[in-house]
Amino acid sequence: MNKISIIGAGMTGATTAHWLAERELADLVLVDVVEGMPQGKALDMLEAMPVVNKDVEIVGSNDYAATKGSDIIIITAGLPRKPGMSRDDLLKVNAEIVGKAATETLKHSPDAIFVVLTNPLDTMAYLAMKMTKLPRNRVIGQAGILDSARMRAFVAMETGVSVENINCYVLGGHGDEMVPLTRHSNIAGIPLKDYIPADKLEAILNRTRKGGGEIINLLKTGSAFYAPAAACAQMAEAILKNKNLIVPCAAYMDGEYDLKDMFFGVPVMLGRNGMEKIVEYSLDEAEKAMFEKSAAAVKDTHEALKKLVSF
């Protein structure tokens, strides 16, 4: 049986475990700093397995040693921004958490592929890669599947068409400057622009860009976790089953799309080696301009990180 360890057993981490357990894809380990919590959630989930007829081992721990021999390490550990905390303060705190989680788990699982979720996403994935010194195929960030899924959901709500028929691609950094590629998005092969009136499409794009905030406003405490966790489970499945699935993910750019030494949301082929390759779309001038704006925002955060952490 494959093994997946999830660092951070909070809302997103535990829900990722839930989606993964249902897939009977791997034995699971939940690790968190809070005593008893990962053990409790793991045992509760394990006790659900007889009901859903899945043979999956689920273990909770406060010790990274429990992650030994993992095929995939998913990092969702981090703190949310607290009152009075600047973005840089949060960056520093989460960098310490993610850096330690990545380097410590690597010691126990030298062959693992890392999937990072902690925000600020692109920069935390960058940090994990720099700290572990792993080749770029083994560190991937989750953002684009979620942003694209939101857009797909909104298109389905607008048109009444099955989500299975709806293909949307949202690239770029995981933030307000994300880049929804409408020209490449379609309903059963029909370009979105031909199916949905321009004003309705614009409203969908706006709602997609603000999708994370919409959930935060509704929940009042915490942020989205069902959809991010589902996205994460899809990535793990594509990797373990060597599917060569092309999905938008944050990957380390080495010249693709004219970007270098940064993580950015692009179409990535996921297989047993993790990020098998980056797929390059042809972009028109307007799309290139959106890409550049989004890349500049991500680079700013990368630069802020470099001032706080040395690697």
User: Which positions touch ligand TXD (CB under 6 A)?
Assistant: 7-13, 31-34, 76-80, 97, 101, 117-119, 121, 142-143, 146, 174, 222-225, 228
Q: Computed over its alpha carbons, how large is the radius of gyration of the chain?
A: 19
d(CA 18, CA 293): 36
Largest CA distance in the chain: 54
**DSSP label at 27?**
E
Least distance to ligand TXD, CB of residue 51, Å: 25
Among the listed residues 304, 296, 263, the one whose alpha carbon sits nearest the alpha carbon of residue 86:
304
**Token pair of 171 as six digits:** 């690239």
Least distance to ligand TXD, CB of residue 81, Å: 9
Nearer to ligand TXD, 66 or 196 (CB): 66
Least distance to ligand TXD, CB of residue 93, Å: 9
d(CA 170, CA 1): 33
d(CA 208, CA 147): 7
Least distance to ligand TXD, CB of residue 196, Å: 25
CB within 8 Å of 22: residues ≥ 6 apart: 52, 54
- The dihedrals phi and psi of 264, each to the nearest 5 degrees, come to -160, 150
Active-site residue among 18, 108, 174, 184? 174
Least distance to ligand TXD, CB of residue 8, Å: 3
Any catalytic annotation for residue 174? Answer: yes
One-letter amino acid at 165 equals N
Nearer to ligand TXD, 48 or 79 (CB): 79
Beta bridge partners of 106: none
Inter-axis angle of helices 87-108 and 121-132, nearest 10:
40
d(CA 93, CA 121): 14
With left for phi above 0 and alpha for psi between -120 and 50, is residue 8 left, alpha or beta?
left
Residues with a known catalytic role: 174
